[in-house]
Amino acid sequence: MTATSAPSTESTSDSERVRRPRRPALSPSRASDFKQCPLLYRFRAVDRLPEKASPAQVRGTVVHSVLERLFALPRAERVPDRAHELVAPSWAAVREERPELAELFADEQAAADWLATSGALIDRYFALEDPRRLEPEACELLVETELESGLLLRGYVDRLDVAPTGEIRVVDYKTGAAPREIGEAKALFQMKFYALVLWRLRGTVPRQLRLMYLTDGQALTYAPDEAELVRFERTLDAIWQAILRAGRSGDFRPNPSRLCDWCSHKPLCPAFDGTPPEYPGWPEPDPGEESALDRAD
């Protein structure tokens, strides 16, 4: 799909975010957390416990930054060699924002060896599409909308393509491999979230949701329909009401699964004989803030 260039109306400027207090909102990452495990949601959105980033997560953040910068270049410059040149400045920008990430590596040589692994992901991206043929409407786009229920949805879209005919495609980069059943359901949940927000904002159901998996060079596409998004809206309303009930009672129960092996908070989980910190009370958190690490899986 070839996209036309147009100004974005969904994003909110930094100055506006400073002036306006941000309402509590639901993001795809935090909604997915609660759906997966209410206690994980509590640890992240209420307790706000720190989590140590993995090298794979940080590499995903760097690659996302490279692709965003790539589409800011003139079409003719969107070639593999130019993309590889963007890796070092992208890592420098990530490290400037999060200096502690440099501590993941024993020394500068270890960091350089790790950074070089980004090149294979970039090459697989170019095997999936030619960015010289595209002109996205926006990259790393902040979108938000309020549902009829009053629930505010907020999230970041990796890339938004809009055809001259008005058809919308939502593109999301995944720096891991194409997932099995559990991972695929989680990824589609995120994409349906974006589709719903864009439908409510623009009155047009996105024609295509595209997930690009850069580890194994696979692309998954999905075409939502209006009836499906209506049902998904009810699902998000139900999740938010469940979050509010848990927030009032403090009853965020663990939901053990195979995903627990990758959870940073497993030592604090009662399902594994851990003890959570004392519940601090419901502070009306704003779980709509997604970090770059949230979006780089």
Residue 102 CA: distances (Å) to CA of 54, 66, 86, 99, 107: 11, 18, 18, 6, 9
Is there a domain that residue 260 lies in?
A: no
Report which of 273, 234, 240, 235 is spatially closest to residue 254, judged by C-alpha positions. 273
Q: Which domain holds residue 189?
A: 24-236+290-296
Is there a domain that residue 169 lies in?
A: yes
Q: What is the CATH number of the domain that holds 85?
A: 3.90.320
CA–CA gap between residue 50 and residue 256 (Å, rounded)? 21
Is there a domain that residue 105 lies in?
A: yes
Position 17 scores a pLDDT of 42
Instruction: List, for residues 12-66, the tens digit of each pLDDT value.
Output: 444 444 445 456 789 999 999 999 999 999 999 999 999 988 899 999 999 999 9
| H or E segment and range at residue 144 | strand 138-146
Label the pairing between strands 152-162 and 168-174: antiparallel
How many structural domains is the chain composed of?
1
Position 102 scores a pLDDT of 86
Position 294 scores a pLDDT of 57
Residue 182 banded pLDDT, cuts 50, 70, 90: low
Residue 113 banded pLDDT, cuts 50, 70, 90: very high
Is there a domain that residue 198 lies in?
A: yes
Is there a domain that residue 257 lies in?
A: no
* Average pLDDT of every residue of the chain: 88
**% of the chain residues with pLDDT over 90:** 74
Instruction: List, for residues 206-253, the tens digit of each pLDDT value.
Output: 999 999 999 999 999 999 999 999 999 999 999 999 999 999 999 999
Is there a domain that residue 113 lies in?
A: yes
CA–CA gap between residue 59 and residue 226 (Å, rounded)? 36
Is there a domain that residue 250 lies in?
A: no
Residues forming beta bridges with residue 210, ordered by sequence position? 171, 221
Is there a domain that residue 275 lies in?
A: no
